[in-house]
Structure 1
Amino acid sequence: MHNMDVSIAKVCMLAGKIMLESGAETYRVEDTMNRIAVSYGLSNAQSYATPTGIIFSVDRVEKTNFIRISKRSTDLHKITEVNSISRKLTGDELVLSEALVQLEEVDQARLEFAEWIQVIAAAFVAGCFTIMFGGIWADFIPSLIAGGIGYATMLWFDRLVATRFISEFIASVAIGVLAIVFVQTGMGVELDKIIIGAVMPLVPGLHITNAVRDLLAGHLVAGLSKGVEAVLTAFAIGAGVAVVFGFI
């Protein structure tokens, strides 16, 4: 494999890695990698992405490159940045060396909002969902507080344990306890509406959407694995609330 092919492979692999780690659909990852390769004359480039890894080759019988994806989150800003770099590459507005430097900067950057902003946003999301699901305004503040504390609990436990499901389980337990306390002290009225609104920031909506889109695009392995991940997250949330109800 000559130097040009090596550079193309590096750019394609890094672009795919950033997108997968940021929560992009696997078919979008493969499409981006293939477009970059085709723009440099590699019409037979082969790419295969799953939620946990990427395989790429510049040709059918060339050496295969593999990278493992061990940490995944949701960062739509990074996906947008990679898409922008990809479009510039295919439009001859960037050379490979410049694209590689820009992709490395995006990979190392921390573009997500500060955790305290995430907690505040989650709190308001929880309160608004309670109203949207038919709750009364008296439950807005209890849901806001429970949702914010629940999300902060998830972020905190996420640092202590490697398994995200445990963090979500403990967060939902905290939400259930707070909701019951609010209702029993008279601060809240409808227990079910408070809990439903407060757990919404934890619900894996993007994972469910991506799973369906991957399945519709024919990526059965990726679609099923993401679907199972979303189901496990939903189970962790439901189990946490159920545990609280089991002890009252």
Structure 2
Amino acid sequence: MTYEKNDDLALDCLLLAGQIMMESGAETYRVEDTMLRMARSQNLDAQSYVTPTGIILSLGEQQKTKIISISNRITDLHKIAKVNNISRKLTLKIITLEEAYDQLRMVQKTNYFLPIWLQILMSAVSSACFLILFRGVWSDMPAAFLAGGAGYLALLAIQHVSKVKFFSEFFASFIVALVAFFAVRFGFGYELDKIIISGVMPLVPGILITNAVRDLMAGHLTAGIAKGTEAFLTAFAIGSGVAVVVVFH
């Protein structure tokens, strides 16, 4: 009975680690490597199959196999670092399997994101900084600041109402372009294109594109293609939102 309970705990612990990492935007090969290292530390011959939408984990032919679905995916590098740290401590025998599982559950429950107002502020500040990187004029910084903040606010608002990622990104980029257009129209900005490009930069799926390429290079073709497709849809949504304003202005 104890042997079965240990196996169940190991399965739950490994799956929880993989789930947190996948939901936080980790690369597929990193998730598999972390889970297998944790399994080897417990003398378990585990096999895993990880995709962006689910994880299959088995402890062997004669042992149990469990499947978990991944429905939500965000970018939270702090949680990934936390899981990696727990994995290292378990591998080095600093903590037990039970302690690792408890710590993972705490990481899963904790929200490490900054307050909403600070996220919006940082999005606005980064947009203004991107304007200078794109060789825009300094007088356009207030317009880029406002467009970036308004776009990210729209993104969070639509995400709260709808779980369809395409719509939130489309309306966010639409708001960015709309704010930029009115800023130029009323004389608060001069270069419409650079204001729009700077404003949508916080929406660009840079980490998603990077992970797709890294998964493809690591041989995880299914995950790489899936993430690449998701990144393409995000880019298409951003471009569509901007195009609506640019075409009809």
Contact 1:46–1:60 at 8 Å: present in 2 too? no
Q: Which position in structure 1 is the counterpart of 2:217?
A: 216
Residues matched between the structures, number: 247
* Cα distance in structure 1, aligned partners of 2:178 and 2:93: 57
Q: Which position in structure 2 is the counterpart of 1:20?
A: 22
* SS of residue matched to 2:198: helix
| Structure 2 residues not aligned, in runs of 5+ | none
* Cα distance in structure 1, aligned partners of 2:97 and 2:184: 60
* SS of residue matched to 2:80: helix
1:36 is aligned, of 23, 35, 38, to: 38
* Cα distance in structure 2, aligned partners of 1:135 and 1:218: 40
Alignment of 1:137-216 (within 5 A): 137-216=138-217
Deviation of the 1:62 alpha carbon: 2.8
* SS of residue matched to 1:62: coil
* Cα distance in structure 1, aligned partners of 2:138 and 2:246: 24
Question: After TM superposition, which residue ranges in structure 1, 4 or more long, deviate above 4 angstroms?
Answer: none
Q: Which position in structure 1 is the counterpart of 2:66?
A: 65
- Deviation string 1:49-74 (CA, Å, 9 cap, x unpaired) is 10010000111453211000111111
1:56 is matched by which residue type in structure 2?
Answer: L
Q: Which position in structure 1 is the counterpart of 2:6?
A: 4
2:37 is matched by which residue type in structure 1?
Answer: R
Does 1:126 pair with 2:127?
yes
* SS of residue matched to 2:31: helix
- Deviation string 1:156-186 (CA, Å, 9 cap, x unpaired) is 0101111011011001111111111111111
Q: TM-score, normalised by structure 2?
A: 0.97
1:5 is matched by which residue type in structure 2?
Answer: D
* Cα distance in structure 2, aligned partners of 1:26 and 1:114: 29
Contact 1:204–1:230 at 8 Å: present in 2 too? yes
* Cα distance in structure 1, aligned partners of 2:61 and 2:90: 23
* SS of residue matched to 1:48: strand
* Cα distance in structure 2, aligned partners of 1:116 and 1:205: 22
* SS of residue matched to 2:73: coil
- Deviation string 1:20-58 (CA, Å, 9 cap, x unpaired) is 11110111000000000011111x310111001000011
Q: TM-score, normalised by structure 1?
A: 0.98
* SS of residue matched to 2:117: helix
* SS of residue matched to 2:71: coil
Deviation of the 1:141 alpha carbon: 1.0
* Cα distance in structure 2, aligned partners of 1:97 and 1:180: 56
- Deviation string 1:139-167 (CA, Å, 9 cap, x unpaired) is 11100110001000000010111101101
> What percent identity do the matched residue pairs reach?
53
| Structure 1 residues not aligned, in runs of 5+ | none
* Cα distance in structure 1, aligned partners of 2:6 and 2:81: 26
- Deviation string 1:194-216 (CA, Å, 9 cap, x unpaired) is 00000000000010000001000
* Cα distance in structure 2, aligned partners of 1:230 and 1:60: 37
* Cα distance in structure 2, aligned partners of 1:199 and 1:172: 6
Q: Which position in structure 1 is the counterpart of 2:46?
A: 45
